[in-house]
Structure 1
Amino acid sequence: MSGQSSQRIFYSLVARGQVVLAEYSAVTGNVNVIAVRILEKLPHEDTRVSYTQERHMFHVMVSDGITYMAVAEEAFGRRIPFAFLEDVRGRFVGMYGAAAKEAVAYEYNTEFGKVIADRAAYFSDPSSDAINHLQGQLQEVKHIMIENIEKVLERGERLDLLVDKTEGLQQVSLAFRQQARRLKQTLWWKNARLWIAASAATSLLIYFIVAMVCGFTLRHC
């Protein structure tokens, strides 16, 4: 590679397989040749990988059959280049979507090449790193908030289940009370019949005792 640029992300492309759909380069030399060779070796499934070449790194992200590549100095690290690729991917999908599956070579180069150049300049700016870092922290907080909300929703489902079970227990309790009331009434009538029978037997016994003294007609008493 030659004709080095002061821009940290100095080359980038978007491709489908080995078909380059859009490209940006701030340098001269063979960087695009090496990029095409890398495209030939990439797997088809989604992946993220970085390759080192002469103190430079080729950062690659494959997503849904589309390859996004960025080349930067090795000292630039991996976090910002991959943040750049995520940004490019989002814009590319938003602009072209499924149409990219049928696009021919360099079909989007004129239009999207400008987008890549603009985003490469933005992410190469040292001040953007602080912004990206802050955005990353906000995104992390967003994920935590979503996770917390999901836990609350899950807890709400458990409360609903508890309410259902409580309603079931209330129905069982109501049936038990009704059954207990019927049993109480049955026992009351049974006791009443026993009391009546006992009273009748006692009265009859008293009558026989008195009748033995006074006669059956009770005329002599």
Structure 2
Amino acid sequence: MKITGLLVLKCNPEGTDPVILANATDVSHFGYFQRSSVREFIVFVGRTVAKRTPPGQRQSVQHEEYKVHSYSRNGLCVVGFMDDHYPVRSAFSLLNQLLDEYQKNFGDSWRTVQADSTQPWPYLNEALTKFQDPAEADKLLKIQRELDETKIILHKTIDSVLARGERLDSLVEKSSDLSAASQYLLLVVFDRCSTNRRRKLIHAVQYCKL
């Protein structure tokens, strides 16, 4: 069981991209040369899912052996990247706790934030380590009865989160969260990259390496 990333984001009601307020990742189980792309992927997917999580809703997005869990409340959204073995209820009890702690620590100061924060939030980094064990999250679950009364929306793929007419490959290409190398890797992984697009991205990756 593994937690790879936790993010807290400010969701903008006007439909613009969410702003990252806090971000903690553990990519030590990936190869050294993969880690930068994995971090970028976490930011890109986290922002994409947060933007499409309606206020007051909890949802889980399945991608291969991983799940991306999100919870939006009062203008904030917290997103967790867990493997498929991490219990869903435990995951959401953790996300609920993170939102409570963030609001307790920062009040409404986040409402005026306009750009992604690069400052670490120590509590989030500690939570990333502590709650690798779902038993710790289960302790929270016992006192968070409202989770039992709230429906969790499960999406089988990332595509199912997107609005009609949206395409994941287009979002990848337009994203400022991803380097050219990461864009290419993601498009190949999702198998949505045409030959022409692949050529363009390969040239971009080669240019970046010069």
Normalised to the residue count of structure 1, the TM-score between the two structures is 0.52
Deviation at 1:134, TM superposition (A): 4.7
Q: Which of 29, 32, 36 is the aligned partner of 2:43?
A: 32
In 2, Cα distance between equivalents of 1:97 and 1:87:
15
Greater Cα radius of gyration, structure 1 or 2? 1
Match of 2:124 in 1: 116
Describe the superposition over 1:38-65 as per-residue Cα deviations: whole angstroms up to 9, x where unpaired: 233232x211111111211111010101
Alpha carbons 1:11, 1:72 under 8 Å: kept: yes
Kindly tell me the number of residue pairs found equivalent between the two proteins: 128
- Structure 1: any 5+ residue segments left out of the alignment? 1-6, 141-221
Alpha carbons 1:51, 1:59 under 8 Å: kept: yes
Three-state SS of the structure 2 residue aligned to 1:75 is coil
Alpha carbons 2:53, 2:59 under 8 Å: kept: no
Match of 2:102 in 1: 92
Bigger proportion of residues as helix: 1
Instruction: Say which structure, 1 or 2, has more relative contact order (CA 8 Å, 6+ apart).
Output: 2
- Structure 2: any 5+ residue segments left out of the alignment? 12-17, 28-34, 146-210
Cα root mean square deviation, aligned: 2.1
Alpha carbons 1:21, 1:104 under 8 Å: kept: no
Aligned-partner residue type, residue 115 of structure 1: Y
Residue 78 of structure 2 is aligned to residue 68 of structure 1:
yes
Deviation at 1:125, TM superposition (A): 2.3
In 2, Cα distance between equivalents of 1:138 and 1:66:
22
In 2, Cα distance between equivalents of 1:74 and 1:39:
20
In 1, Cα distance between equivalents of 2:5 and 2:64:
15
In 2, Cα distance between equivalents of 1:134 and 1:95:
21
Three-state SS of the structure 2 residue aligned to 1:70 is strand
Three-state SS of the structure 2 residue aligned to 1:33 is helix
Structure 1 pair 135/23, CA: closer, same or farther in 2 (3 Å)? closer
Describe the superposition over 1:15-53 as per-residue Cα deviations: whole angstroms up to 9, x where unpaired: 11211111111122122222222233232x211111111
Written as runs of structure 1 = structure 2, the 5 A alignment for 1:105-144 is 105-107=115-117, 109-112=118-121, 114-125=122-133, 129=135, 131-134=136-139, 136-137=141-142
In 2, Cα distance between equivalents of 1:31 and 1:132:
21
